[in-house]
Amino acid sequence: MHQEFFFTASNSVYSARGKLDAWEWRWVEAEIPEGAQEVSGLEALERVFAGERVRKVPVGVIGPRDATEAQLKTAEAIGTRLGQIGLTMICGGKTGVMSAAAKGCHEAGGLSVGLIPDHDWRKANPYIQLPIATGLSEARNMIIAKSCEVLIAIGGSYGTLSEIAFGLHFSKPVIGISGAPKVDGLEFAGSVDDAMERMAGHLLNRVETS
């Protein structure tokens, strides 16, 4: 998954695949400019979202309603980091990990989207900026997995396990942390920083080449 990224003073991001068009989310054929600075995937992503014309691709945060204090702390930290970057965060919109992640994202200025199982959008937790009432009960788990470019699983439950399975089935990168269930294909992160670096690398590696 390793790939080298570079940025210029204009916040343009390059790799061996070209220059990133952050609206079309494509690598456009271009040479890396002389003097461009090599950065990590996360630093490159932060540079991308510091620009003016950026498509806010969604990252999913999934996890149980009945979460431990450590899992809630991790969820809020990840939500905060996603919000600070400027990514859109999608979750199930209810309590536990979902509420903690939404709190972090919303209070950091990010867009928190909740795909709730209910028919009434008002059933979303108070940190969801964009509540979407699917009325699909737990079937909404499939929509969460399908709509996100990368999923981060915090802790585990049967619902979380189904979201992980859907994500892997749809060939989405799924990163596990803080007690996520051991599932073939799940990529484990040792810390919030590690999870964010892995997320950024996957997002940029999933960019198409024009």
Rg (CA), the chain: 17
| Range 1-24 burial, b when 16+ CB lie within 10 A, else e | eeeebbbbeebbbbbebbbbbbee
| Range 124-155 burial, b when 16+ CB lie within 10 A, else e | bbebbeebbbbeeeeebbbbbbebbbbbbbbb
pLDDT attached to residue 52: 85
CA distance 173 to 121: 28
> Quick check: 88 pLDDT over 70?
yes
Mean pLDDT across the chain, nearest whole number? 95
Give phi and psi for 59, each to the nearest 5: -120, 135
Mean pLDDT across 171-189: 96
> Quick check: 1 pLDDT over 70?
no
- State the pLDDT confidence band at 9, using cuts at 50, 70 and 90: confident
| 9-23, 128-142, 183-197: segment of lowest average pLDDT | 9-23
Residue intervals of the chain classified under CATH 3.40.50.450 are 58-205
Percent of the chain scoring above 90 in pLDDT: 90
CA distance 124 to 88: 17
pLDDT attached to residue 36: 93
Mean pLDDT across 71-84: 98
- State the pLDDT confidence band at 2, using cuts at 50, 70 and 90: low
Residue 23's contacts (CB-CB under 8 Å, 6 or more residues apart) are 53, 54, 55
pTM passes above 0.85: yes
The CATH number of 58-205 is 3.40.50.450
Mean pLDDT across 132-140: 95
